[in-house]
Amino acid sequence: MNGSAGSAAVPLLGAPYDLLDWLVGRWSDGLGWVGETLGIGMLDYVFMHHAFLVGALIAVMAPLIGTFLVHRQLALIGDALAHTAFAGVAVGLFVNSLLGTGISPYVTAIVVAVLAALAIELISETTDAYNDVSMAIVLSTGFALGAVLISINTGGLAVGINQYLFGNLATVSRENAVLLVVLFAIVSLVVTVTYKQLLYVTFDETAARVAGINVPWYNRLMTTLTALVVVGAMQIMGVILVAAMLVVPVAAAAQVARGFREALLASVLLAELAVLVGITLSYHYEATAGGTIVLVAVAVYILMVLAGKVQSARAVDEDAPSDAAVGERAVGEPSDD
């Protein structure tokens, strides 16, 4: 894909692309200077500059979206979309080798993942539930389709699929970094504008509908954003581990945060920690970045679980539960319809 991906993107985006490309270049210069000044060896490499940029942006947008997903018990959607994005990658590679075009597989991945996102919403709207089964079917279909397309193509393909399955720091090109900046801008802008509606829908879907919020529309928006984040994060994390970034930092933050805003902020900070430490470790030990980042994130999660236990133990000491809070759980009967 190297180079060819960019040349395909350039005519599409024109001047804005040049601007972003320039910005990524300056970021690279800046990190290079920092590396030289502080004597940090890994910052000698331009691909590491891109990796840190992409990683830092992923660590903002993955937990941002993940917070809304996890608290609706939709953590599996990220996984399902990642696997359909893999099919999108395969479609891109297939089309390229068939027609000799130079479309970036990440662009086709975005298209396929967004279509899959809307399909998942359609299934859930018509069956009135997000169920494990339909999600599992979408997940396996996507992955199977990807595997078949790639195997048909194997003869003509020089590019290995490992970089898509497991992610790869070294293949984060300047073009891909620009693509990620664009995805980041879209995701953070949309979430900023629709934050209140998304929160309402996440917290209490029925009350949100009563309040006049178009819930199906926001659900579609949410899964579409998830598709964008998943494809963006795939470069480093790989198809198989990308969903972890949507879930693990969010779960960690939920252990210690009281409020929603607080949880959102904490999940981003914890994700940044995991990504920056993970990338650094993977460089030094020549380990796969996605796996290292996830392991660091899980370690952070375990720490937060412990911190949460300490915190709640202290809270119980401070104020014993009131009489009213005791023994009211079991009273009452369930719904009548």
Partner 1 sequence: MNGESATGDNDDGPLIDARGLTFGYTAAPVVDDVDLRVDRGEYVGIIGPNGSGKSTLLRLLLGLHEPDSGSVELLGHPAREFAERERVGYVAQDVTKDEKRMPITVAEVVLMGRFPHAGFGRVTQADRDRAREALRTVGIEHLADRRITALSGGQRQRTYIARALAGEAELLVLDEPTVGVDAESVDAFFDLLDDLVADGLTVLLVEHDIGAVIERTARVVCLNREVYFDGPPVAFAESDALDRAYGTNIRREAGGIVT
Residues that bind partner 1 (CB under 8 A): 71, 73, 193-194, 196-197, 199-200, 202-204, 206-207, 209-213, 253-254, 257-263, 315, 321-322, 324-325, 327-329, 331-337
DSSP annotation of 72 reads T
CB of 336 to partner 1, least distance (A): 4
Shortest approach of partner 1 to residue 312 CB, angstroms?
A: 9
Closer residue to partner 1 (CB): 139 or 304 = 304
For the CB of residue 195, give the shortest distance to partner 1 in the complex, in Å. 9
Identify which of residues 103 and 254 has a Cβ nearer to partner 1 in the complex. Answer: 254
Return d(Cα 158, Cα 148) in angstroms, integer: 16
Q: Which is nearer to partner 1, 183 or 253 (CB)?
A: 253
DSSP class of 323: G
CA distances from 310 to 136, 184, 248, 251, 301 (A): 37, 36, 20, 17, 14
Write b or e for each residue in 157-183: b if 16 or more Cβ atoms lie within 10 A of its Cβ, otherwise e: bebebebbbbbbbebbbbbbbbbbbbb
The dihedral region occupied by 130, where left means phi > 0, alpha psi between -120 and 50, and beta the remainder, is beta
Residue 202 vs 288, nearer CB to partner 1: 202
Q: How far is the CB of 58 from partner 1 (least distance, A)?
A: 22
Closest approach of partner 1 to the CB of residue 172, in Å: 33
How far is the CA of 331 from the CAs of 103, 320, 334, in angstroms? 61, 22, 10
Q: Containing H/E element for 151? A: helix 132-153
* Closest to partner 1 by CB, 158 or 210: 210
